[in-house]
Structure 1
């Protein structure tokens, strides 16, 4: 649908959050539409990218969202490094120990060839 828009077209949405499934998707879509000179107007939020003030406001929201993403990424990486330093690796616990795996391999080879014995 977006490919059918031409420069100067207007996209009306009920609310800005209905444009995408998450903030990053909405921001990417808004920036893509702006690159094609397509005006976005929200019926309930009052957003209208045809005016300079609204475009400035939308750019501010985009910048804050990018900043928030970077803060979350930095906090997550810091937490992971701290956990690794304490010996925690994360993820699911191993289902079998190395000893259990070697026993299972022996049992499997005996099952496949009954002439073998452990």
Structure 2
């Protein structure tokens, strides 16, 4: 099965999963409020504990969610990090599509009200 690229997205496949293992493991830890507080108290030590790559750590420092996706981050785990920043999944979708959050929400609403295309 050949995969078609989707503009603005990074395919999360096995290679990306391996590349992002440490990052995703760290972000999963943010399910626990104690870990979120530990991260906020000393981000550098927290990233070192999870052995993030230099590129992943740099993207964390810059709050570059798209860079984290490119560095192997899975959007579902990155949502935990985004939550620490006060962002939600719509903020992430807007960043991926190059839209403002308001424009992204409007696009979602337009898509929701359009009839589904017929499938042969």
Give TM class, smaller chain: under 0.3
Greater RCO (CA < 8 Å, at least 6 residues apart): 2
Higher-helix-fraction structure: 2
Higher-strand-fraction structure: 1
Name which one, 1 or 2, has greater alpha-carbon Rg.
1
TM-score, reference length from structure 1: 0.28
